[in-house]
Amino acid sequence: MIRKAILVIAIVWNCINAANVNAQQAAATVQKPIALQHGAHRIGRRTDADMEKWRAYGLGQFIHWGLYSIPAGEWNGKQYNGASEWIKSWKEVSATAYDSLMYQFNPTKFNADSWAGTAKQMGVKYVTITTKHHDGFCLWPSKYTNFTVANSPYKKDIIGPLVKAYDKQGIDVILYFSIMDWHNPDWRYDIKTREDSIAFDRFKQFTRKQLLELLTLYPTAKGLWFDGTWDKSWVKQAAFADSLEKEMKAMHPGLIIGSRFRADEYGKRHFDSNGNMMGDYEQGWERKIPEKIEDVHGNDWDCVMTVPENQWGYGRVWKGHIKTTDELLEMLAKCVSLDGNFVLNFGPKPDGTLRTEELDLAEGIGAWMATNSEAIYNGEYAGLVKQDWGYYIKKTGSNKIYMLVFNVPVSGALKVVMQSHSAIGKAYDLGNPAQNYVPEEIGTSAWFIHLRQQTFKRPFVIVLETADNSKNSGAQYQKAKT
């Protein structure tokens, strides 16, 4: 009886809480966990070497490439008012006309080493590449469909050379895979009839075969990035998705899969009906960044971000606000300061080259990283109250806390409030370690770092080496009596 009541409460709660980030808080109101067959496999973070490495990446690159780069957001001279990679869904575009773009896919200037070189110079530690987007076109020569690069004029595999080139640069590769497939006739949005069910069973087997094929062909891939998993048809496949996840992980130990892949048997996505995350990291931070550490519930997470508004594939015209290098660096700093990674999207052109704007951003980010990446790699939440000048990042397992400064106050004084047991041992510029600061103690555990100048062209980093303060009584300032 009680169990049933709890279950009902859980389901109702979960329906109300469509936003997955709130699921854990919601579940906290449920007293006893319900028995789930296809819920989370684990509570808390993974602690193995592959996941430790993922956690330390800091900066990543996303690549959206496919047939949609050819129309580039335009069809018969008309601008599509949506994300360029969704153009097939536009009423102006017929499915056959779109699918025929395969016969135009011929990126003669594609050079995997050149992309990997750009990524290396930018300082990224992992890349996520679209092997198949919603349109169903495969950038690898899949045996299970004709809709692949093998039947394009280009003929050659794209994924293999990319994996090799990025591996060579020491950049880990994650394969993006859309479950939703607009090309496969067996794909369904929902399953309403027996015929739907039969077709979707075929689709599930097709999906499984393609995924096992990818893992076999590209065994060095570190993870899979699933997308297009929100439709009812897939949400109803808790048992299938669960067993497939287990099969892929058994085949490929260490494989990293985010929370977007599967739903539990009540249709709950990302977080199961008990509020526990399904998958290895929270995959819901898309084009948004948490504000505070409480928002991430102690989970691993990354944020995937576009340069323009919501557009991932190449579009001739970039719409909306175009983010600048410094804005992107600030997002990177914010993500790492809250225990996440930041992943910037690139949408290559149909000829296989990167657009100039993206190359410039990669270069700008790389130039900053060349001096400051020490503050990003292996960084974590520092446990200090955020100040208006920017973000703190602690280097995991060290006594170093980095101040990533984006806003310099007119006073030139940066306030730092340490935890009560620690003090500032040393403070210096990351770009110029010989240049020390002498922090001024302004209160209990509080200091000002006085900058030597007030005009800066770029965000910069100050390193704090913390020292134990438990023996030192420090300054004893009396609190106001009120």
Q: Does 382 bind ligand 16Z (CB under 6 A)?
A: no
Q: What is the DSSP string of 413-462?
A: EEEEE--TTEEEEEEEETTEEEEE--PEEEETTEEEEE-S-S--SS-EEE
> Site mask, ligand 16Z, residues 217-256, x = CB under 6 A?
----------x-----------------------------
One-letter amino acid at 480 equals: A
CA dist list (Å): 457 to 214, 398, 432:
45, 29, 16
Which of 46, 85, 165, 392 lies at the binding interface for ligand 16Z (CB under 6 A)?
A: 85
Q: What is the DSSP string of 314-376?
A: --SS--SPPPPHHHHHHHHHHHHHTTEEEEEEE---TTSPPPHHHHHHHHHHHHHHHHHGGGT
Q: CB-wise, 104 or 310, nearer to ligand 16Z?
A: 310
Of the candidate spans 3-11, 215-223, 292-300, 304-312, the one that interacts with ligand 16Z by CB under 6 A turns out to be 304-312
Residue 131 Cβ vs ligand 16Z, minimum distance, rounded to whole Å: 12
Q: Is 37 helix (H, G, I), strand (E, B) or coil?
A: coil
Residue 25 dihedral angles phi and psi, to the nearest 5°? -65, -40
In angstroms, rounded to a whole number, what is the distance separating the alpha carbons of residues 324 and 344? 12
Q: Which two tokens stand for residue 440?
A: 């001024």
Q: Does 87 bind ligand 16Z (CB under 6 A)?
A: no
In angstroms, rounded to a whole number, what is the distance separating the alpha carbons of residues 262 and 301? 16
Q: CB-wise, 227 or 245, nearer to ligand 16Z?
A: 227
Q: Please list every residue from 8 through 67 that binds ligand 16Z, using CB under 6 A.
A: 64
Question: Strand 301-305 to strand 340-346: parallel, antiparallel, or no bridges (unpaired)?
Answer: parallel
Beta pairing partners, 223: 174, 256
Helices marked H in 100-139 — which ranges? 112-122
Number of residues near ligand 16Z (by CB under 6 A):
8
Q: Does 182 bind ligand 16Z (CB under 6 A)?
A: no
Q: CB-wise, 303 or 408, nearer to ligand 16Z?
A: 303
Q: CB-wise, 38 or 64, nearer to ligand 16Z?
A: 64
Which position has the token pair 């600061």?
Answer: 437
Q: CB-wise, 85 or 264, nearer to ligand 16Z?
A: 85
Residue 73 Cβ vs ligand 16Z, minimum distance, rounded to whole Å: 12
Q: Does 68 bind ligand 16Z (CB under 6 A)?
A: no
> Site mask, ligand 16Z, residues 261-290, x = CB under 6 A?
-------------------------x----
Residue 330 Cβ vs ligand 16Z, minimum distance, rounded to whole Å: 21
Which position has the token pair 């966990």?
Answer: 33
Give the helix/strand (H/E) hosting 83: none
Tell me the CA end-to-end span of the chain in Å, nearest whole number: 54
Q: Which two tokens stand for residue 99?
A: 């699918």
Residue 343 Cβ vs ligand 16Z, minimum distance, rounded to whole Å: 10
Residue 349 Cβ vs ligand 16Z, minimum distance, rounded to whole Å: 17
Sign of CA dihedral 180, 181, 186, 192: positive
Residue 133 Cβ vs ligand 16Z, minimum distance, rounded to whole Å: 6
Which of 10, 26, 27, 83 lies at the binding interface for ligand 16Z (CB under 6 A)?
A: 83
Q: CB-wise, 207 or 373, nearer to ligand 16Z?
A: 207
**Cβ-proximal residue to ligand 16Z, closest one:** 312
Residues interacting with ligand 16Z, by CB under 6 A? 64, 83, 85, 227, 286, 304, 310, 312
